[in-house]
Amino acid sequence: MQTEISERLVELLRETGLHSSDFIDQILGTSTAQRTYHGADGKDALLGIMQSLLMLCGSEEAAVDWLFHSVSYQQINGNYPYLALENGDFWSLTVLQDWLQIIVRYCASCPDLIAEIFQN
Residue 80 domain-assigned (yes or no): yes
Residue 1 domain-assigned (yes or no): no
Residue 92 domain-assigned (yes or no): yes
Angle, helices 60-69 vs 7-17, to 10°: value is 30
24 or 58: whose pLDDT is higher? 58
Sequence-separated (6 or more) residues with CB below 8 Å from residue 8: 60
Q: In which band, very low, low, confident or very high, does the pLDDT at 31 lie, cut at 50, 70 and 90?
A: low
Mean pLDDT for all residues in the chain: 87
Residue 20 domain-assigned (yes or no): yes
Residue 104 domain-assigned (yes or no): yes
What's the pLDDT score for residue 99? 95
In contact, 55 and 104? CB cutoff 8 Å: yes
Q: What is the DSSP string of 51-113?
A: HHHHHHHSSHHHHHHHHHH-HHHHHHHSS-HHHHHHTS-HHHHHHHHHHHHHHHHTGGG-HHH
Residue 120 scores a pLDDT above 90? no
Residue 2 domain-assigned (yes or no): no
- How many structural domains are present in the chain? 1
Q: Determine the structural domain holding residue 79 and report its residue range.
A: 7-118
Whole-prediction pTM value? 0.86
Instruction: State the average pLDDT over residues 48-76.
Output: 94
